[in-house]
Amino acid sequence: KDMATGNEQKVSITASTNLTDEDIDKAVKDAEAHAAEDKKKKDEIEARNEAESLMYNCQKTVDELGDKISGEEKAKATAEIENVKKALEGSDIDKIKEATEKLKQAFYAMSEKLYAQANPNGAAGAGANAGAGAGPQTDANGNVYNADYKVEDDKKDENK
């Protein structure tokens, strides 16, 4: 309220709906009737998104690391990318998924070879020490020490 003029401003928010119960029921039934169509459309969109994402990542890898990839691997990846592009031009979800799966296999094979080239002896020893940090700690003599402890709150006297 403004003291000088005496004017007062108010904002009131009210929830009002113009839908009757019949309209709401109709909308719910309509949504249930089209659930199968919606699921099919969702599956198609997800398949397209996965295909486009994988295609982009594979193309980027081929472009950036093409000199480290054999000509055969590069040609196979490029051919699979083209197959995915052709599948995406149509609307057959199964063809898109099939082409995506083939590209995925080619991409993984290419990536595996790239990692093997980058670290030739690291791939074999990576799994050997995977669980070394788990469990109780040992000292230099091989003795295992487990400790129980209790946390005491230093600030509990300050609240009184």
Range in 29-33, 73-77, 97-101, 140-144 with the lowest mean pLDDT: 140-144
Domain count, the chain: 1
The phi and psi torsions of 54 (rounded to 5 degrees) equal -65, -40
The pair of three-digit structure tokens given for residue 58, joined into one six-digit string: 């594979």
| pLDDT tens readout for residues 63-95 | 887 777 777 888 888 888 888 888 888 878 888
Residue 106 counted as domain residue = yes
pLDDT, tens digit, 9 for 90 and up, residues 111-133: 888 787 777 665 444 444 444 44
User: pTM of the predicted model, to two decimals?
Assistant: 0.54
Q: Please indicate, yes or no, if residue 126 is contained in any of the structural domains.
A: no
Q: Is 89 contained in some domain?
A: yes
With respect to residue 97, please indicate whether it lies within any of the assigned structural domains. Answer: yes
H helices, E strands: number in the chain: 5, 0
Burial of 114 from C-beta contacts in 10 A (0-12 / 13-18 / 19+): middle
Residue 142 lies in a domain: no
Q: CATH number for the domain including 64?
A: 1.20.1270.10
Range of the domain at 113: 37-118
Is residue 93 included in any domain, yes or no?
yes
103 has pLDDT over 50: yes
Give CA–CA dist 54/48, Å, rounded. Answer: 10
